[in-house]
Amino acid sequence: MSATPSGLTAPPLAGRPCLVCGTPIEVKVTEWSARCPSCGTWRSTLEPEIESEALQQEIDTDARAVGLKKLREGNNERILDEIATLRPLEAASLFDVGSAHGWFLAAASARGMEAEGIEPEAGMADHARAHGLSVRSGYFPAAVSADERADVISFNDVLEHIPDVDATLEACAQTLRPGGILSVNIPNATGLAYRMASSLARIGVRGPYLRCWQHGLPSPHTHYFPAEALIRVIQRHGLVVRRTVPLSSVQRDGLWARLHMVGRPTPLTIVSFAVLWLAAPLFNRPGNSDIVLVLAQAPAETQPR
């Protein structure tokens, strides 16, 4: 994540141009979130506080890991299968941006990739290194030198945390080898959970909406993209979008731990658990999926830019 908190100098949200299409965005649902009326991209003014110890301590990292791991492991294998349809994984070099616990690095290494993580949060980076994984501390692209290249660059639930999406994607285009793959999975603004959460927030039930944005967590979301909008942004950096794949967002196994990653059970989290458990198949239907994977490819020949 290349986020640099801009503190109190951030311009007001209303009327800022949409980063995808330039249309002035409109404040919606809460004072800190706004939506583009043209392309449906959402922007927030939430700021990352990666190294905030107070916030880190509020998260039960064990519960978070248990809850997320089963969901992520299934999706990670799916992502690698999809990348493998575009280029061989064996011996391919990978930068996994925001590598966190290192689960994707481990899965990629198991497939023969030369996988290296880039992770700004020191505890996460140490955790992954303790499991034998290769991780650089810092942000992308600052942690990559100008002459380094990669066959694959991945962002797994990371790009939505980065304020300057265009600068990040341009750095990807510059860092990928010809024919290299950019793999981005993000929460989907047209997914069922986000649509339900924003509807509930409009009638005063804000918990699920705050959870969608990771409000109050060390690294909240700065954007929520519809898949089509993300594709537009990626394409303007000279990358060719090759695949758009809905991924599972709700898995019954591990769901309880996932919902309890912050604080004690509340009536809201208990109701959320019941609803999500019962409706898991509905959430994972392709048109409703709350996670979308986009794979894009750098041009085969290096072109003057």
CB of 226 to Zn ion, least distance (A): 9
Question: Quick one: which segment of 28-36, 98-106, 177-185, 281-289 binds Zn ion (CB under 5 A)?
Answer: 28-36
Residue 262 near Zn ion by CB under 5 A = no
CB of 222 to Zn ion, least distance (A): 15
Euclidean distance between CA atoms 293 and 305, whole angstroms: 27
DSSP state for residue 99 in the 8-state scheme = -
Question: Quick one: which segment of 35-43, 128-136, 242-250, 278-286 binds Zn ion (CB under 5 A)?
Answer: 35-43
CB of 87 to Zn ion, least distance (A): 31
**Identity of the residue, 237 or 258, whose beta carbon is nearer to Zn ion in the bound complex:** 237
Omega of the bond leading into 141 within 30 degrees of 0 (cis): yes
Question: Quick one: which segment of 8-16, 18-26, 133-141, 172-180 binds Zn ion (CB under 5 A)?
Answer: 18-26
13, 72, 238 from 97: Cα distances, Å: 27, 15, 20
154, 171, 192, 220, 245 from 234: Cα distances, Å: 13, 11, 24, 22, 15
**Identity of the residue, 18 or 234, whose beta carbon is nearer to Zn ion in the bound complex:** 18
CB of 208 to Zn ion, least distance (A): 24
Question: Quick one: which segment of 11-19, 123-131, 137-145, 263-271 binds Zn ion (CB under 5 A)?
Answer: 11-19
**Identity of the residue, 213 or 225, whose beta carbon is nearer to Zn ion in the bound complex:** 225
Query: Which residue blocks in the chain are alpha helix, DSSP H?
Result: 53-58, 61-84, 103-110, 122-130, 165-175, 192-202, 207-213, 227-235, 255-259, 267-283
Residue 21 near Zn ion by CB under 5 A = yes
Contacts of residue 62, defined as CB under 8 A and 6 or more positions apart, other chains included, come to none
96 closest CA partner among 84, 106, 87, 82: 106
Which residue in 1, 3, 20, 153 binds Zn ion (CB under 5 A)? 20
Residue 18 near Zn ion by CB under 5 A = yes
Residue 36 near Zn ion by CB under 5 A = yes
Question: Quick one: which segment of 16-24, 64-72, 119-127, 173-181 binds Zn ion (CB under 5 A)?
Answer: 16-24
Interface residues for Zn ion in 201-240 (CB under 5 A)?
none
Task: Return the percent helix, strand and coil in the chain, to nearest 5.
Answer: 40, 20, 40
Euclidean distance between CA atoms 287 and 188, whole angstroms: 10
Binding footprint of Zn ion on the chain (CB under 5 A)? 18, 20-21, 23, 36, 38-39, 41
